[in-house]
């Protein structure tokens, strides 16, 4: 299955989510191939750190642009694609072959608006008979109950048509940054942490048949 992690806004957590998904799938014995279509090469960098540190399992990674789209389409096993707006052609190419698109959305009005724009791009370039499943979730949610922004963002996202809202949020936690900088999945570094538990809950919704 080809899962593209995307949206238009920078810093939403695409690469963080793509990396953690790839590591989790690899740890569950899946054959995982990742594609980094963003010239920032964040996914490439974290995969390099993981390999240099000697952590296993590793997953295969290809970096490039539109020339990879046919290759992605033919790939069997689990495929994770990280995209960015710096290469819009590659981003659009990936959307046209995606089985599903996973969209992390930070809890702000600007991010909700930009998600709407992203969805209109998806609708424009995907054909009705080959529509990918679109899964939206709040990433970087505030951990303080008193702050309602995450609830408000989630409710705004729930109004959007043609998407499935995953109501299992990932919170804004240093554990995501720390584990990423070390080349580890958030659930590997400290399995009993809140971040680990929430990520596992999230990923088992995305991949109910794995694990």
Ligand X SMILES: Nc1ncnc2c1ncn2[C@@H]1O[C@H](COP(=O)(O)OP(=O)(O)OP(=O)(O)O)[C@@H](O)[C@H]1O
CB-wise, 31 or 177, nearer to ligand X?
A: 177
Q: How many residues bind ligand X (CB under 6 A)?
A: 19
- Report the residue number, 41 or 178, with the smaller CB distance to Mg ion: 41
Tell me: does residue 170 bind ligand X (CB under 6 A).
yes
The two three-digit tokens of residue 117, written as one number? 């724009």
Which region, judged by CB under 6 A, interacts with ligand X, from 25-33, 68-76, 95-103, 175-183?
Answer: 175-183
Does residue 39 bind ligand X (CB under 6 A)?
no
Among ligand X, Mg ion, none, residue 10 binds (CB under 5-8 Å by kind)? ligand X
Which segment (6-14, 71-79, 130-138, 149-157) binds ligand X by CB under 6 A? 6-14
Residue 12 within binding range of ligand X, rule CB under 6 A: yes
Residues 59-118 that bind ligand X (CB under 6 A): 84
CB 58 within 8 A of CB 184: no
170 binds, among ligand X, Mg ion, none (CB under 5 to 8 A by kind): ligand X
3 part of the interface to ligand X, by CB under 6 A: no
Give the Cα separation of 124 and 105 in Å (integer): 20
Give the chain as a 3 state SS string.
Answer: CEEEECCCCCCCCHHHHHHHHHHHHHHCCCCEEEEECCCCCHHHHHHHHHHHCCCCCCCEEEECCHHHHHHHHHCCCEEEEECCHHHHHHHHHHHHHCCEEEEEECCCHHHHHHHHHHHHHHHHHCCHHHCCEEEEEECCECCCCCCCHHHHHHHHHHCCCCCEECCCCCECCHHHHHHHHHCCCHHHHCCCCHHHHHHHHHHHHHCCCCC
Minimum CB separation of residue 6 from ligand X in Å reads: 9
User: What is the binding site for Mg ion (CB under 5 A)?
Assistant: 14-15, 42
From 24, 180, 187, 202, residue interacting with ligand X (rule: CB under 6 A): 180
Taking the least distance from each CB to ligand X, the nearer of 94 and 170 is 170
Q: What's the CA gap between 178 and 192, in Å, rounded?
A: 15
Contact residues for ligand X (CB under 6 A)? 10-16, 38, 40, 42, 84, 139-140, 170, 172-173, 176-177, 180
């Amino acid at each position: 299955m080809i899962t593209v992690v995307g949206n238009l806004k920078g810093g939403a957590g695409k690469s963080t989510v793509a990396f953690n998904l790839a590591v989790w799938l690899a740890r569950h014995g899946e054959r995982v191939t990742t594609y980094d279509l963003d010239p920032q090469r964040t996914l490439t960098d974290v995969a390099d750190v993981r390999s240099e540190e000697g952590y296993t399992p590793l997953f295969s990674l290809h970096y490039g642009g539109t020339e990879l789209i046919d290759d992605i389409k033919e790939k069997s096993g689990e495929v994770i694609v990280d995209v960015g707006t710096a290469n819009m052609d590659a981003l659009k190419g990936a959307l046209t072959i995606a089985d599903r698109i996973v969209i992390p959305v930070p809890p702000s009005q600007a991010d909700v608006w930009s998600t709407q724009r992203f969805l209109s791009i998806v609708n424009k370039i995907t054909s009705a008979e080959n529509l990918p499943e679109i899964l939206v979730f709040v990433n970087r949610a505030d951990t303080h109950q008193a702050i309602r922004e995450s609830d408000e963002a989630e409710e705004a996202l729930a109004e959007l048509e043609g998407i499935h809202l995953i109501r299992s949020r990932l919170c804004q936690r240093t554990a995501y940054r720390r584990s990423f900088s070390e080349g580890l999945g958030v659930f590997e570094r400290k399995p009993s942490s809140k971040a680990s538990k929430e990520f596992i809950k999230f990923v088992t919704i995305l991949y109910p048949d794995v694990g």
